[in-house]
Amino acid sequence: MSKGLDTNIMIVGGGPVGATLALALQEAGVPVTLLEAREQGASHQDQRALALSYGSRLILERLGLWTELEPKATPINTIHVSQRGSFGRTLLKANEHGQPALGYVLSYGALSAALDNAMKNFPGISIVNGAEATAINPASDAVHISYRHQGREHAYSAAFAVLADGGRGLGDIPGLQRETKHYGHDALVAKVQCELPHDNIAYERFTAAGPVALLPNGDRDFSLVWTGKAEEVAKLLKLEDEAFLSALHEHFGDRVGRFLTVGKRLSFPLRLSYLKSVTAPHLAIIGNAAQTMHPVAGQGFNVGMRDAWELAQMLAQTVPSEWGSENMLSAYQSSRKTDTRSGLIFTDFLVNVFSNDIVGLRKLRALGLGLLDVVPLAKNRLVGKMSFGPKG
Ligand SMILES: Cc1cc2nc3c(=O)[nH]c(=O)nc-3n(C[C@H](O)[C@H](O)[C@H](O)COP(=O)(O)OP(=O)(O)OC[C@H]3O[C@@H](n4cnc5c(N)ncnc54)[C@H](O)[C@@H]3O)c2cc1C
């Protein structure tokens, strides 16, 4: 076992959030070491469709990556929100809110490739691919990280480390408490093609079984996110393509015509999960590792991007001897609290209020959607929140 002491900031996890942090720190010349469990390039083919808010686009612009990514991203110019079994609906339009787009759909693989390539240009970023952190122990003097690389165990102690592992790899960190609510629902994701062109409209439809979204992705495709009870989603996964497409038509209605083709179908469980505190001595936790949300409003990924950006700004403004100090960590924690909590509450509210079949609620929801459509202030606030978080 090798023992190392380093003055670099250690980032565990080089997904979109960890990589964004590493790059954002380069403007201030802050050296980082990044441990990534996957081999170089392993995520570049991941077709998962991320819904980027306009605020995330601005972060990527600041990193100098948007020119390269824009041709691969599909703008969302209108969001059409409706509910099954009711006439209430609302339209959110980019041009009514002074934005070129409400958001963008971009594949996880394209974003990862752009971030990975950009990181190669900075000598201040040392990436260790194929390195899996196995334990993180915050202590009073430093944070102690164990990791496995090329069959050997390593130990690393840093004055400051950031965990951005997506919340999957490590289990619980001593001293941190996680709250989790399982919805008992899964999300089925797939690319679909329909009869009608998408015209850069994203559809969000609330049904008693759970929300279903169609996000424009590429010239002709939509990325489908169909949520429902885990056992129902399991049945949908097993259907032949033809039967699946007619079930989708039945569930979604006629707005985009008939559904013609469907690509590979995948599913994942939906949960709301967050850490009560996103810091521990000498450690901050960001992105999906800190909070996981229902995908209903496309908030989770964007909150993670803002975590990375805000932490980088805070580190750049703090003298290195204070990195990881109690003062710095508590300032970071309070700067992120409102954004994270409001994202969690907003998505949970949408799931609870819009996805059940209580008759009174259904009428209220229809009224709510209709009202939203005629009250410009309410719409502006909703678009601002979805685009920029609480500062919107
Ligand atoms: C199956 C699935 C499907 C999803 N689909 C969608 C979708 O369709 N649309 C959408 O908007 N969002 C989707 N999400 C959410 C979205 O992927 C996340 O919001 C986003 O990836 C968060 O970025 P992150 O960098 O925090 O975490 P991640 O993207 O998970 O990145 C974490 C990184 O850390 C690395 N890592 C993990 N453990 C370790 C370790 N022990 N040591 C070192 N490195 C480690 C991983 O290899 C990975 O590169 C999905 C999530 C999942 C799990």
Taking only the tens place, the pLDDT of each residue in 252-302 is: 988 899 999 999 999 999 888 889 899 999 999 999 999 988 776 667 889
| Ligand 1 center to 14 CA (angstroms) | 9
Q: What is the pLDDT of residue 206?
A: 82
Would 222 be classed as within a structural domain? no
Q: Is 38 in the pocket of ligand 1 (CB under 6 A)?
A: yes
The pLDDT value recorded for residue 1 is 35
> Among 207, 157, 141, 170, which residue's Cα sits nearest to residue 9?
157
Residue with tokens 């339209």: 91
Would the CB of 186 count as within 6 Å of ligand 1?
no
Residue found under tokens 């497409």? 245
Q: Write out the residue range of the structural domain in which residue 15 sits.
A: 2-42+114-179+273-351
- Residue 56 counted as domain residue: no
Cβ(329)–Cβ(259) below 8 Å: no
Could you tell me if the CB of 103 is within 6 A of ligand 1?
Answer: no
Indicate the pTM of the whole model.
0.90
- What is the number of structural domains in the chain? 1
Q: Whose CA is nearest to atom 13 of ligand 1?
A: 50
Q: State whether the beta carbon of 130 lies less than 6 angstroms from ligand 1.
A: no
Protein residue closest via CA to atom 10 of ligand 1: 50
Is 167 near ligand 1, meaning CB less than 6 Å away?
no
> Residue 109: CB within 6 Å of ligand 1?
no
**Residue 284 is assigned to a structural domain of this protein:** yes
- Three-state secondary structure readout of 280-348: ECCEEECHHHCEECCHHHCCHHHHHHHHHHHHHHHHHCCCHHHCCCHHHHHHHHHHHHHHHHHHHHHHH
CA-nearest residue for atom 16, ligand 1, is: 301
Q: Which atom of ligand 1 is nearest to the CA of 304?
A: 26
> Ligand 1 pocket: which of 38, 288, 292, 293 to mutate (most atoms <8 Å of CB)?
288
In a domain, 101, yes or no: no
- Residue 279 is part of a domain; what is its CATH number? 3.50.50.60
Q: Is residue 166 part of a domain?
A: yes
User: From the CA of 181, how far away is ligand 1's center (Å)?
Assistant: 19
Low-confidence residues of the chain, pLDDT below 50?
A: 1-5, 358-359, 361, 371-372, 374
Between the CA of 330 and the centroid of ligand 1 the distance, in Å, is 26
Is any ligand 1 atom within 6 A of the Cβ of residue 59?
Answer: no
Ligand 1 atom 30: residue of nearest CA:
166
On whether residue 48 sits in a domain, the answer given is no
pLDDT score of 359: 47
Q: Which atom of ligand 1 is nearest to the CA of 170?
A: 41
User: 12, 264, 301, 340: which to mutate for ligand 1, most atoms within 8 A of CB?
Assistant: 301
- The answer as to whether 159 is a domain residue is yes
Nearest CA to ligand 1 atom 52: 268
223: in domain:
no
Whole-number Å distance, alpha carbon 199 to ligand 1 midpoint, is: 29
Is residue 232 in contact with ligand 1, taking CB distance under 6 Å? no
Q: What tokens does 272 get?
A: 């709301």
User: Tell me, what's the pLDDT at 315?
Assistant: 95
Residues 102, 392 contacting (CB under 8 angstroms): no
Q: Angle at Cα 252 formed by Cα 246 and Cα 257, nearest 5°?
A: 70
Map residue 109 onto helix, strand or coil: helix
* pLDDT of 154: 94
| pLDDT given for residue 99 in this prediction | 84
